[in-house]
Structure 1
Amino acid sequence: MIEAVKFWNEPNNRSHWDLELDPEWAAYGAMVKEASAAVRAENVELTQVLGGISPIDPFFMQRLRDQGVLEGLDAVAVHGFPLDWNHWQIDEWPARIAEIESVTPLPVWVTEVGISTFGAEEVQEFGLRRTAELLMGRVPRIHWYSLYDLPKAWPATTRHREAEGSSYYRHFHMGLLREDGTPKLAARQFSACTPEMGICQWFHFEDHRLDDAVQWLRRLGVRRLRTGLSWADSFRPGADHWFDRQMRALEDFDVTLTFCFTPEHRGVAPHHTSPPRVAGEYAEFCARMVRRYAPGLRSVAQPLAASFLTPAPRDAPSPAA
């Protein structure tokens, strides 16, 4: 079942939101408020979470709070990778959580935390064990990133590969499983962390790993899964068929579903990080997905969401992945 929805992914990260087009996050804030109202109208009981922030920045969270963005939400989320990308040590996790708690009363979820095997598998093994010690019992949700290594033939979702150097290649080594599906050292101890610790696994359009992933998640004792549905992918031929297949395969897990990635032809700029060109279109997508996959008790304030109930437009060719 879907237990929560998230609005975007790492909105304060330049690889996921175009800060040149929206330097004060005003467009992002308006987009989240529209989407929150639209989703609440479809399912008043569904937990709503702010897109996980990376870096963990209390000033960014305070900015959104002051814009009123958090008022309709139920939780906020953070992402942390202290052994790979962040400029702080793994033992600082409790302090980083406390920084966000100091600026919002909402629960803080950790929806991505992981350690790459870029240097050695033993580093990930240590990192998993220490992360569990620091976060289990401290926050209500933890999602380990990720189940699978990213296939080397696929690009990582980032705009700055040329500028990232070796940091870019760490994206390809974050899994408990190698690209071919064989387990790494940390996979052997992950079951000791479940079901309290969940997993974040993104599935690409028509991802060949889906069925094997479900088997591995069950084998590891995972109950909570974070994944996403791409607004950009929704314009591909056969999108609804793929979304149906994905969500049907995951229906036995408690799913946190992330809505993100702007279709190139619907953005202010032709990129997945762009703010939408037309207000309300992202909210329409979120409402349509909730109506399709998480229908529930509808809000009594139906007229407020009337503009979000139209089907997604199909007037443009499919964007690139």
Structure 2
Amino acid sequence: MIEAVMLWNEPNNKSHWDFQIDPDWSQFADMVIGAADAIAEVNPTLPKVLGGISPIDPVFMTNMKNRGVLDHLDAVAVHGFPLDWNHWQINDWPDKLKEIQAVTDLPVWVSEVGISTFGAEEVQVFGLERTVELLRGRVPRAHWYSLFDLPRAWPATTRHREAEGSSYYRHFYMGLVREDGTEKPAYQHFRKAAPDFGLCQWFHFQDHRLDEGVQRMKDLGVTYLRTGLSWADSYRDGALDWFDRQMEALADFNVTVTFCFTPEHRGIEPHHTSPPQVKEEFAQFCADMVRRYGPVASAVRSNAAAE
């Protein structure tokens, strides 16, 4: 079910990692190295990718390189939203990739790129088509963010939420499909991007959109997907049942699964962005998930069922 694992999400963004607690990212580096090594013990051939960075920052990537993190990984990743949040233009994509390629020899993935319809839905059509022109053939993986709009009743994972003004509300308009289930104009245009482009779609705990998401991705010709399994969610009642259902539903896709989010009671501070109290616990979660859903584990279960 899994073609690659991604370790954390946007670690240089305070909405996902608290660098007031860990100002030099030394705790993050140690956590990722431990997790990568634990995964390698379970499945030494499964590609391991550094969580996509946002903003695209070669200084941060150099820090990870100097701390030895990249020696334990097979690829790095970046996120870019030039028409919504970044301070650069969409045509700068090739140069932004070169900034990271200049400091590492590892393949550079684009694990999230997207355009909101906050201002106008036609902007998303332009942004999709131009992004495909700029990234197709330049990176081994490009994941469009996202399939669905974020429901307005759900909070977006950001630092200050509504206090961010329009920047916050753009999070709710990143999908190709509106909250009411109707398709935006860019939906049909995405057919021309697949299968070269995959999708990034986060499925929340017991997400009611899972089955529709699978159907729509197949309709669009999507072959690869990035999603997540939350370490924090693993402590919920029925967590493994939900993880099993999610991963089984996605079995027809090449899935990059992101492991992230600190359980509040296991963080140095009670927040999902906090470094963990015990970094080995994150490594154990990653290893357990790879053992359960990785390619080797899937083959073992299939053989056992056949017998």
TM-score (norm 2): 0.96
Question: Counterpart in 1 of 2:208?
Answer: 208
Contact 1:214–1:250, Cα closer than 8 Å, also in 2: yes
Aligned length: 297
Q: Secondary structure at the match of 2:24?
A: coil
| 8 Å Cα contact 1:45-1:296 kept in structure 2 | no
Deviations along 1:225-254, one digit per CA (max 9) or x if unpaired, are 000000000000000000000000000000
**Deviation of the 1:130 alpha carbon:** 0.1
- Which piece of structure 1 moves more, 78-87 or 175-184? 175-184
Aligned to 2:258: 258
For 1:147 and 1:197, locate their aligned partners in 2 and report how far apart those are by CA, in whole Å.
12
- 1:158-179 deviations in Å (ceiling 9; x for gaps): 1211431110000000000001
1:315 — aligned with what? none
Q: 8 Å contact 2:3–2:295 — kept in the other structure? A: no
Give TM-score scaled by structure 1 length: 0.92
- Does the CA-based 8 Å contact 2:2-2:295 persist in structure 1? no
Aligned match of 1:286: 286
Give, in whole Å, the separation in 2 of the partners of 1:109 and 1:205.
26
Alignment-derived partner of residue 70 in structure 1: 70
- Is the Cα–Cα contact under 8 Å of residues 44 and 296 in structure 1 kept in the other structure? no
Match runs of 1:77-116 below 5 Å: 77-116=77-116
Measured after TM superposition, the shift of residue 278 of structure 1 is 1.1
Residue equivalent to 1:164: 164
- Between the two proteins, what is the percent identity of the paired residues? 69
Counterpart-to-counterpart distance in 2, 1:215 and 1:204: 17
Higher helix share: 2
Q: CA deviation at 1:132?
A: 0.2
Match of 1:239? 239
**Kept in 2: contact 1:143–1:197 (CA 8 A):** yes
Distance apart, 1:27 and its partner CA: 0.4
In the alignment, the residues of structure 1 paired with residue 124 and residue 295 of structure 2 have an alpha-carbon distance, to the nearest angstrom, of 38
Q: Distance in 1 between matches of 2:10 and 2:119?
A: 25
**Secondary structure of residue in 1 paired with 2:257:** strand
Structure 1 gaps, min length 5: 298-321
Indicate the residue corresponding to 2:35 in structure 1.
Answer: 35
Q: Distance in 2 between matches of 1:163 and 1:58?
A: 29
Q: Aligned partners of 1:126, 1:201: CA distance in 2, in Å?
A: 21
Residue 154 of structure 1 aligns with which residue?
154
Q: For residue 319 of structure 1, what is the aligned residue in structure 2?
A: none
> 4+ residue runs of structure 1 moved beyond 4 angstroms?
none
Give the aligned CA root-mean-square deviation in angstroms: 0.8
- Structure 2 runs not aligned, ≥5 long: 298-307
Please name the residue that 1:302 is paired with.
none
1:18 aligns to 2:40 (yes or no): no
Q: Which amino acid aligns with 1:269?
A: E
String of CA shifts for 1:266-312, please: whole Å, max 9, x gaps.
00000000000013010000000000000539xxxxxxxxxxxxxxx
Q: Does 1:193 align with 2:193?
A: yes
